[in-house]
A and B are shown apart, each in its own frame.
Chain A
Amino acid sequence: MGRGGGRRRDRLRWSKLYTFSCFRPHGADDGAGPSATGLGGPGFTRVVHCNNPALHRRKPLKYMLNHISTTKYNIITFFPKAIFEQFRRVANLYFLLTAILSLTPVCPFSAVSMIAPLAFVVGLSMIKEGIEDWRRFIQDMKVNNRKVGVHRGDGEFVYRHWEDLCVGDVVKVEKDQFFPADLLLLSSSYEDGICYVETMNLDGETNLKVKRSLEVTLALEDDESFKDFRGVIRCEDPNPSLYTFVGNFEYERQMYSIDPFQILLRDSKLRNTAFIYGVVIFTGHDSKVMQNSTESPSKRSRIEKKMDLIIYILFTVLVLISLISSIGFAVRIKLDLPHWWYLQPQSSNKLDDPSRPALSGIFHLITALILYGYLIPISLYVSIELVKVLQAHFINQDIHMFDEETGNTAQARTSNLNEELGQVHTILSDKTGTLTCNQMDFLKCSVAGVSYGVGSSEVEIAAAKQMASGADDHDIPYKMILALCHTAIPEINEETGAITYEAESPDEGAFLVAAREFGFEFFKRTQSSVFVREKHTSSKGVTEREFKILNLLEFNSKRKRMTVILKDEDDQILLFCKGADSIIFDRLAKNGRVYEPDTNRHLNEYGEAGLRTLALSYRVLEESEYASWNSEFLKAKTAIGPDRELQLERVSDMIERELILVGATAVEDKLQKGVPQCIDRLAQAGLKIWVLTGDKMETAINIGYACSLLRQGMKQICLSIPTGDQVAQDARKAAKESLMLQIANGSQMVKLEKDPDAAFALIIDGKALAFVLEDDMKHMFLNLAIECASVICCRVSPKQKALVTRLVKEGIGQTTLAIGDGANDVGMIQEADIGVGISGVEGMQICYFFYKNIAFGLTIFYFEAFAGFSGQSVYDDWFMLLFNVVLTSLPVISLGVFEQDVSSEICLQFPALYQQGPKNLFFDWYRILGWMGNGLYSSLIIFFLNICIFYDQAIRAGGQTADMAAVGTTMFTCIIWAVNMQIALTMSHFTWIQHVFVWGSIATWYLFILAYGMTLKSRDNYKILLEVLGPAPLYWAATLLVTAACNIPYLIHISYQRSCNPLDHHVIQEIKYLRKDVEDQTMWKRERSKARQKTKIGFTARVDAKIKQIRGKLQKKGPALTIHTVS
């Protein structure tokens, strides 16, 4: 130490102040040779030549550049890969095969009618994929083109793009910049080589973390010094573990071991530090954060999976009827064809050779497979995709999701999963930035047993000012603690002179702001002193006071307290301590407990209100007492070895005693607007909410309270690992066993609970989670978690977030929704099933697709039976081509995009309606089979009614009979009417767009047949509508008859269901329709209250619990009261 003699004076050496986190191993690491750590062995092969990136440009040390790419395709691979993606879908593959076969004489249709729809469908999907990937590409470009200072040689730094960084490069990162790659910290603007890092994007934690360089590299303090810098790092291979690092650093012929404290991770941000120098260790996809990113999966929704299943069923039907067809064909070829002289059987080719019926049958099987391909809805995927894109567009345009502050609307990044939004069962939420704004407000305080502050934060501060004016003795330590007991650094805005604070945690910032309002403005920190301006309310004067910092025992999650020891200008030694109430209360002096009862009461109130609380205390130390303690402390601080930390703790504990309680603070970790209401509604809608946060357990629990996920009286089951965090095998085992036991106990507790209103909360921390997520325990854990009303996971790494999400998704088998704001949530979001939903009609949509294709496809099959199974289609090729692509797909798209069963306001009033989605009311097997049955029925009606009507008789007064074209066209007209009427019946929300699409589709058919009839290509359909069918009343009569007959069962179904077995949304629709909500308020309210899911979390549950509690009390008092009144 003490090497940097010529450094600027205002530089702080935190390592001198900090007690716990800045401990630095001294000297060269003698024990940890390559053999000991396994360096050089498998998994630890990386060698980095510092400041010599050229070595890494060629083998064997050629590591990847810092270029990142998250796109699925590039220009060359786009076509093959995207096409491959498309044809991974079985249905598309089938259509590809048919398209290829359509070039052979086996195909019953012309080649173009097979290839065109496929090209259309696949092309559309690919365009969509391409656009989405292009957006990703642009995003990557932005990141790759960020600039950072890189050492070019001779102590000269130039700005280069991130993507050009190479392993071994020395970079200079400036304040508030992101680190471009994983770096080894060499030195910083602070004299002792520490720097502050914000790891929001990695783990969601908002407090700053301290990193420090190795001591040997401290001398590399300016650009010049890197001229001749050489060093070799040997370390682990790229891996996703954010919190570990194994490696050593060979510098000036000495070996130093590197630990995670020297590693700066890509995507974290440099804070509170002017600049740092670092050596690039891992670049691009090798970096830890990129290793953490789970492969962006092609998300497939649950419905899509079910859809596949149905497609398989349809394929089975297809194969079955094709087999029937080909057997029928073979039999007829063998037995009948020789007699059918008009087919000249003697000159048959192998496709229909009566002497080889088996072979012909096999050929015919292919023909039939193509012919009945209309059973498989070719446009299903593309329509669903189109619907999703449009939905995403509407989501993006939704004015209700417009954020006025940022001027942003919602952004649906991928359109794949919209329908799942309606089926969410479990929500996994990040905390910071999602539930909370990451903004702390000093809300309440309890000073000397008096609680201040009632309303919102501004009012608070005004009240606090008032309070400050009537200052009494008790307040002074209170204010001083706020202003002095922290690790923040003031930043003076040069122009305005206003002071902002750079604090490790946002609540410290809030304290300092509050202290300033109280008249204690912290404005300067030097290595050894803290400077405060004290405003005197009486004299209006300002005095600057300097406090010498003697010791700083900083906060960590184990200690749950922070202490500073100061010497004021009067040489009085003061100890200020703030910390969790339980910790502070244990350490109070006898005479320090004056305000304990009151403060305790206040703390409970604050806690119940969801505020973050801290107790404040102080102590005046005698000079001698301090001196003796300090000598012991120094001894502990300079101790070397594993028990150093223990010793330090013990010594700290000695001094943090005999405290005098002055009060408590309550800081609000400000929730995002509407979060409590939202959670309440979600709970009423029957959704489960899990919070996954990188924050520490206390914070997480506080937030749980704030957003009503937790409440008083809820039984909390905390899972954590007992202390002792060696990675040794037996420790692991012990930890696991203890967790097992904890889980078992928890489950037991839940099981034995008799009170039906009892609610449980499960809280687990990241370390425990690591064990719990292992295969042998995860199901136990999940079972317990399902029983609990709310689940909070704290200190979770991004990877763990993803793992938890996967566990929930696979374990419960329900749709999960992940919410998060930061890059650290990406894994979780990718793993989850979702993204936002409009209504549960997607199931309906798909059912409809199957319905219409079955109705259509089967008529082709029936006709075969009448055409000697020869593979002749009764419909013109063009009709078939248009059926899927044009004539029937637009209404169903409009259904998907615009359908709403009840309006959005009503949805909010009836949260339980949401349960229809997760219960999959709209896409269960009954429904699917019902629709398939409907399709079968329609096909029978369409075919046989038409056949009976057009059997052999004249169709017009002129005596002409119907030929195949007339029958086919009439049947097709009936199909178009029937399926479009069907979808019109299923729509409950008609806008002009639906009208245009439904009636437009029917009109399009007539227009098409008119136009098509004008061309000679149409063969027997030439002028069919104008000349043949149009003037025939029978044609129109048949259309009306068949359309009605096809839809009557559905009409009966809906009228029966509505009258005898209504679904919730039907009732609401009716009430709304009859305007009962206006006329009959009480009924409306009653329906609303019934429509709530019984819930154990959320604001409503809290109110209910409170009511119950009060009632319980009243009942206890009850008898006494009656006696009283009687007497």
Chain B
Amino acid sequence: MGKMTKRRLGNSVISAFLLIGVIFVPIGLASLSASKEIVELVDRYDTSCVSVADKVGFIQNSKTDKTCTRTLTVPRHMKSPIHIYYQIGDFYQNHRRYVKSRSDKQLRYKEAAHLTKDCEPEGNTADGAPIVPCGLIAWSLFNDTYTVSVNKKAVEVNKKDIAWQSDKNNKFGSNVYPSNFQKGNLIGGAKLNESIPLSEQEDLIVWMRTAALPTFRKLYGRIETDIMENDQLTVVIQNNYNTYSFGGSKALVLSTTSWIGGKNNFIGIAYLTIGGLCIFLAVVFIVLYMIKPRYVMFPRV
């Protein structure tokens, strides 16, 4: 091959890795620390709230008293607003049959009440009158309710503005009122107050935003006062919603938020991992070039 020429290359590669590392590590640290600040209380109540063996029978019986009281201790100071979520597990809101079963037109326009084609089997009542809001999503609306008190003192749960503004303004009509809803033989979930237009039924609007995964949280309301460390939190739950049939779970979540949203260590760790990997690679390539300088040669092809 004759004489070989010494040559150091790959500066651009090393600097690319270094650059990624330098950017990613701080982002990782920042999000991790933001996540650490967040206080989150999760209380799964579906099993403990039903003491009888036949849980499905219990939940399906409209006569039984489904009140259930849970007491929680706040580990750290929770700054307002404190978001209250209900979390359901193993509930396939993303099932195609479920996702399709709605009528956007009907939700928005009063005169489109009859457009229930996509809503089957929850489109019309037995005598043919259209159900508003139609479809399985609305029909299976979550209907547990929470009453919160801190240190035995009732706290107001603000249920306003839990839905996206655009949904309220543009997707749910302010002149569309529920009708024929939950009037059939099968009662799914919550009933709706027929005197309130859909655009103000925020629980429904939140529910209609189908979740991507079978375990999901949805915003229930907010507490707009701080809760101190070691405060006793009492939540009286009306445990109405049937997750027992399909072996799902229900949990109550109280959480503060920061700029990254809720408690989310994953993204910080991911950033740190990738940033660290890139710095490591940069070092590896630097070492590689130091100990084994590149010889330019023309390999015979």
- Kindly state the separation between the CA atoms of A872 and B245 in the bound complex, as whole angstroms: 23
Residue of A nearest to B296 (CB): A1067
Q: How far is the CB of B227 from chain A (nearest CB, A)?
A: 15
Question: Does B45 sit at the interface, judged by CB under 8 A?
Answer: no
Q: Find chain A residues with CB under 8 A from B81 CB.
A: 959
Which residues of chain B from 1 to 16 have any CB-CB distance to chain A below 8 Å in the complex? Answer: 2, 5, 7, 9-10, 13, 16
A949-B267, A1027-B166, A1071-B296 given as contacts; is B277 within 8 A of A1048 (CB)? Answer: yes
Q: Which of A445-453, A539-547, A912-920 contacts B (4 or more CB under 8 A)?
A: A912-920
Interface size on B, residues (CB 8 A): 87
Question: Does A278 sit at the interface, judged by CB under 8 A?
Answer: no
* CB <8 Å contact, B212 and A964: yes
A336-B246, A916-B301, A1067-B296 given as contacts; is B259 within 8 A of A1052 (CB)? Answer: no
A1051-B16, A1058-B13 given as contacts; is B213 within 8 A of A866 (CB)? Answer: yes
* CB <8 Å contact, A965 and B298: no
- Looking at A953, A1033, A1059, which has the most chain B CB atoms within 10 Å of its CB? A953
Question: Does B157 sit at the interface, judged by CB under 8 A?
Answer: no
A336-B246, A1037-B27 given as contacts; is B136 within 8 A of A1070 (CB)? Answer: no
Instruction: Provide the main secondary structure of the chain A interface.
Output: helix
A-B contact pairs, 29 of them (CB 8 A): A339-B245, A340-B246, A341-B242, A342-B188, A344-B186, A868-B214, A947-B213, A952-B213, A957-B261, A959-B83, A961-B216, A964-B99, A964-B209, A964-B212, A1016-B171, A1020-B210, A1033-B259, A1034-B261, A1037-B31, A1041-B24, A1041-B271, A1045-B274, A1055-B17, A1058-B9, A1064-B299, A1070-B7, A1080-B5, A1090-B297, A1091-B298
Which residues of chain B from 180 to 197 have any CB-CB distance to chain A below 8 Å in the complex? Answer: 186, 188-189
From B17, B92, B99, B217, contact of A952 by CB (8 A): B217
Q: How far is the CB of B282 from chain A (nearest CB, A)?
A: 10
Question: Does B58 sit at the interface, judged by CB under 8 A?
Answer: no
A1023-B166, A1034-B260 given as contacts; is B97 within 8 A of A343 (CB)? Answer: yes
* CB <8 Å contact, A872 and B99: yes
* CB <8 Å contact, B122 and A959: no
* CB <8 Å contact, B13 and A1051: yes
Residues 258-301 of B, flagged 1 when their CB comes within 8 A of A and 0 if not, give 11111110110011001001100100010011001010111111
A961-B216, A1055-B285 given as contacts; is B91 within 8 A of A342 (CB)? Answer: yes
Residues 204-218 of B, flagged 1 when their CB comes within 8 A of A and 0 if not, give 000001111111111
- Kindly state the separation between the CA atoms of A286 and B176 in the bound complex, as whole angstroms: 78
Question: Does A575 sit at the interface, judged by CB under 8 A?
Answer: no
* CB <8 Å contact, B215 and A952: yes
Question: Does B240 sit at the interface, judged by CB under 8 A?
Answer: no
* CB <8 Å contact, B267 and A959: no
* CB <8 Å contact, B260 and A1033: yes
* CB <8 Å contact, B266 and A949: yes
From B24, B96, B136, B294, contact of A1044 by CB (8 A): B24
Q: Find chain A residues with CB under 8 A from B266 CB.
A: 948-949, 951
Which residues of chain B from 205 to 238 have any CB-CB distance to chain A below 8 Å in the complex? Answer: 209-219, 222
* CB <8 Å contact, A344 and B261: no
Q: How far is the CB of B18 from chain A (nearest CB, A)?
A: 12
* CB <8 Å contact, A961 and B170: no
Q: How far is the CB of B25 from chain A (nearest CB, A)?
A: 12
Q: Find chain A residues with CB under 8 A from B121 CB.
A: 344, 347
* CB <8 Å contact, B9 and A1059: yes
* CB <8 Å contact, B140 and A952: no
From B9, B83, B166, B255, contact of A1070 by CB (8 A): B9
Interface size on A, residues (CB 8 A): 82
Question: Does B20 sit at the interface, judged by CB under 8 A?
Answer: yes
- Kindly state the separation between the CA atoms of A968 and B17 in the bound complex, as whole angstroms: 29
Residues 330-364 of A, flagged 1 when their CB comes within 8 A of B and 0 if not, give 00000010011111100100001000000000000
Q: Find chain A residues with CB under 8 A from B167 CB.
A: 1022
Binding site for A on B (CB under 8 A): 2, 5, 7, 9-10, 13, 16-17, 20, 24, 27, 31, 81, 83, 85, 87, 91-99, 104, 108, 120-122, 136, 139-140, 162, 164-167, 170-171, 186, 188-189, 209-219, 222, 242, 245-247, 255, 257-264, 266-267, 270-271, 274, 277-278, 281, 285, 288-289, 292, 294, 296-301
Q: How far is the CB of A916 from chain B (nearest CB, A)?
A: 7
Q: Find chain A residues with CB under 8 A from B219 CB.
A: 954, 959-961
- Kindly state the separation between the CA atoms of A875 and B217 in the bound complex, as whole angstroms: 20
Residue of A nearest to B167 (CB): A1022
Residue of B nearest to A967 (CB): B212
Q: Find chain A residues with CB under 8 A from B263 CB.
A: 953
Which residues of chain A from 81 to 115 have any CB-CB distance to chain B below 8 Å in the complex? Answer: 108
Question: Does A1087 sit at the interface, judged by CB under 8 A?
Answer: yes
- Kindly state the separation between the CA atoms of A1032 and B34 in the bound complex, as whole angstroms: 14
- Kindly state the separation between the CA atoms of A129 and B108 in the bound complex, as whole angstroms: 48
* CB <8 Å contact, B212 and A342: no
Q: Find chain B residues with CB under 8 A from A224 CB.
A: none
Q: How far is the CB of A1057 from chain B (nearest CB, A)?
A: 10
Q: Find chain B residues with CB under 8 A from A1080 CB.
A: 5
- Kindly state the separation between the CA atoms of A343 and B96 in the bound complex, as whole angstroms: 10
* CB <8 Å contact, B246 and A339: yes
A871-B96, A961-B219, A1067-B298 given as contacts; is B262 within 8 A of A1059 (CB)? Answer: no
Question: Does A376 sit at the interface, judged by CB under 8 A?
Answer: no
* CB <8 Å contact, B214 and A866: yes
A342-B140, A916-B301, A953-B262 given as contacts; is B95 within 8 A of A959 (CB)? Answer: no
From A352, A1020, A1062, contact of B97 by CB (8 A): A352
Residue of B nearest to A108 (CB): B96
Q: Apart from A344-B186, A967-B213, what 20 extra A-B contacts exist at CB < 8 Å?
A: A340-B245, A342-B139, A343-B97, A343-B136, A344-B122, A347-B121, A866-B94, A867-B92, A872-B96, A874-B94, A955-B262, A964-B94, A964-B212, A966-B212, A1016-B171, A1022-B166, A1022-B167, A1037-B27, A1059-B13, A1059-B285
Residues 1034-1065 of A, flagged 1 when their CB comes within 8 A of B and 0 if not, give 10011011001100100110110011101010
- Kindly state the separation between the CA atoms of A872 and B98 in the bound complex, as whole angstroms: 9
Question: Does A1028 sit at the interface, judged by CB under 8 A?
Answer: yes
- Kindly state the separation between the CA atoms of A739 and B99 in the bound complex, as whole angstroms: 77
* CB <8 Å contact, A1037 and B209: no
Q: Find chain B residues with CB under 8 A from A1045 CB.
A: 270, 274
Question: Does A1086 sit at the interface, judged by CB under 8 A?
Answer: yes
Which residues of chain A from 944 to 987 have any CB-CB distance to chain B below 8 Å in the complex? Answer: 945, 947-968
* CB <8 Å contact, B136 and A342: yes
A347-B121, A954-B257, A955-B261 given as contacts; is B277 within 8 A of A1037 (CB)? Answer: no
From B10, B209, B255, contact of A965 by CB (8 A): B209
* CB <8 Å contact, B10 and A1064: no
Q: Find chain B residues with CB under 8 A from A915 CB.
A: 301
Residue of B nearest to A914 (CB): B301
